[in-house]
């Protein structure tokens, strides 16, 4: 029943009593409705402040998708690089002996490698040791296998002592291991270590080339004696700085160079 009809049908005390009851009921209904529409407050402090724990799946996927870009100390060591995913087509030359003595090189390569050493290219140290400059070994390898057909692979870390640098290298030609040798080079100050490292590599190359027969005469005692008798001489010299006198070996077609000057003993 609407309020106007209720007002007409009720008179006097009955009307005021009925209105008071209706207003009280309406107020209670509005209060109940307001309380039900407010957001529920949490009664537990622990559940509100503690964030949800990530699942194992999400943690592992996020860690696997994020690449590591910061190098570690192990990455900075002087260790020969190894392939991350070695396959049959990718050989790890730091450990492999692939192709060693598998088959001889073609005759045209062998003729270049085994060619007699030209005496005009041989040098002699002041102490009488004969040698072929390392650049000439590289020229012979380039002529036999072509530029890019051979290479030196480090097989160990560089060992630096207070006076010497040493490291092991492997000579690879046409995709085959030929020889393994350890190079060494002396140095006199820490500033000379980079140069000694390069000299160590060249020394290893010369030693590896012995297995290919390059300049093999330099290790033949009879050939050495004949060469010295024909192409070299001993000279008495004096050190320009400390005036020390000694005897050194030089080629007959060379003159004594600094810091020595030729003199009579």
- pLDDT at position 63: 46
Residues 176 and 103 sit within 8 Å (Cβ to Cβ): no
Distance CA 205, CA 81 (A): 20
CATH code (residue 174):
3.30.390.80
For residues 227 and 151, membership in a common domain is answered with: no
Whether residue 16 is predicted with pLDDT greater than 90 in this model: the reply is no
- The mean predicted confidence, pLDDT, of the chain is 78
Distance CA 246, CA 263 (A): 10
pLDDT (tens digit per residue) in 49-101: 455 555 544 444 444 455 555 545 444 456 555 555 544 567 777 777 777 87
Within a domain: 178: yes
Higher pLDDT, 20 or 210: 210
For residues 231 and 152, membership in a common domain is answered with: no
Within a domain: 44: no
- pLDDT at position 50: 54
For residues 228 and 262, membership in a common domain is answered with: yes
Within a domain: 125: yes
For residues 211 and 234, membership in a common domain is answered with: no
**Helical segments of the chain, H only:** 3-9, 13-37, 45-49, 56-65, 107-113, 134-145, 193-209, 221-231
For residues 185 and 235, membership in a common domain is answered with: no
pLDDT (tens digit per residue) in 226-262: 999 999 999 999 998 988 999 999 999 999 988 988 8
pLDDT (tens digit per residue) in 99-150: 787 788 999 999 999 999 999 999 999 999 999 999 999 999 999 999 999 9
For residues 214 and 143, membership in a common domain is answered with: yes
Within a domain: 206: yes
- pLDDT at position 210: 94
The domain boundary, picked from 181, 197, 219, lies at: 219
Whether residue 180 is predicted with pLDDT greater than 90 in this model: the reply is yes
Query: What mean pLDDT do residues 18-39 have?
Result: 52
For residues 212 and 179, membership in a common domain is answered with: yes
Nearest Cα neighbor of 153 from 176, 178, 170 is 170
* Main-chain phi, psi angles of 199, to 5 degrees: -65, -35
Within a domain: 197: yes
pLDDT (tens digit per residue) in 85-96: 544 567 777 777
For residues 198 and 252, membership in a common domain is answered with: no
For residues 191 and 125, membership in a common domain is answered with: yes
Domain range spanning residue 141?
121-219
Within a domain: 153: yes
For residues 184 and 159, membership in a common domain is answered with: yes
- pLDDT at position 206: 96
For residues 204 and 236, membership in a common domain is answered with: no
For residues 143 and 183, membership in a common domain is answered with: yes
- pLDDT at position 263: 87
- pLDDT at position 103: 85
- pLDDT at position 82: 56
Within a domain: 64: no
Which residues does 133 contact at the CB level (< 8 Å), separation at least 6?
A: 121, 123
User: Which pLDDT band holds residue 7 (cuts at 50, 70, 90)?
Assistant: very low
Provide the number of structural domains found in the chain.
2
Within a domain: 34: no
pLDDT (tens digit per residue) in 188-199: 999 999 999 999
Higher pLDDT, 92 or 47: 92
């Amino acid at each position: 029943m609407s309020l106007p009809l209720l007002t007409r049908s009720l008179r006097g005390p009955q009307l005021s009593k009925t209105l008071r009851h209706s207003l009280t009921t309406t107020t209670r209904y509005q209060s109940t409705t307001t309380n039900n529409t407010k957001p529920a407050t949490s009664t537990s402090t622990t559940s509100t402040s503690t964030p949800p724990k990530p699942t194992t799946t999400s943690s592992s996927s996020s860690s696997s998708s994020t690449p590591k870009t910061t190098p570690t100390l192990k990455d900075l060591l002087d260790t020969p690089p190894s392939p991350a995913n070695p396959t049959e087509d990718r050989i790890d030359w730091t450990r492999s002996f692939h192709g060693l003595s598998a088959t001889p090189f073609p005759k045209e390569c062998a003729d270049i490698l085994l060619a007699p050493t030209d005496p005009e290219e041989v040098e002699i140290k002041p102490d009488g040791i004969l040698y072929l400059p390392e650049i000439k070994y590289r020229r012979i390898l380039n002529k036999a296998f072509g530029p890019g057909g051979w290479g030196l692979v480090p097989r160990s870390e560089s060992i630096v002592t207070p006076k010497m640098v040493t490291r092991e290298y492997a000579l690879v030609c046409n995709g085959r291991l030929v020889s393994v040798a350890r190079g060494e080079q002396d140095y006199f100050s820490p500033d000379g270590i980079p140069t000694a490292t390069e000299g160590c590599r060249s020394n290893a190359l010369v030693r590896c080339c012995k297995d290919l027969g390059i300049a093999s005469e330099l290790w033949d005692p009879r050939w050495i004696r004949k060469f010295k008798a024909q192409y070299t001489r001993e000279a008495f010299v004096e050190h320009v700085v400390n005036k020390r006198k000694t005897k050194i070996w030089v080629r007959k077609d060379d003159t004594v160079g600094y810091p020595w000057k030729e003199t009579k003993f």
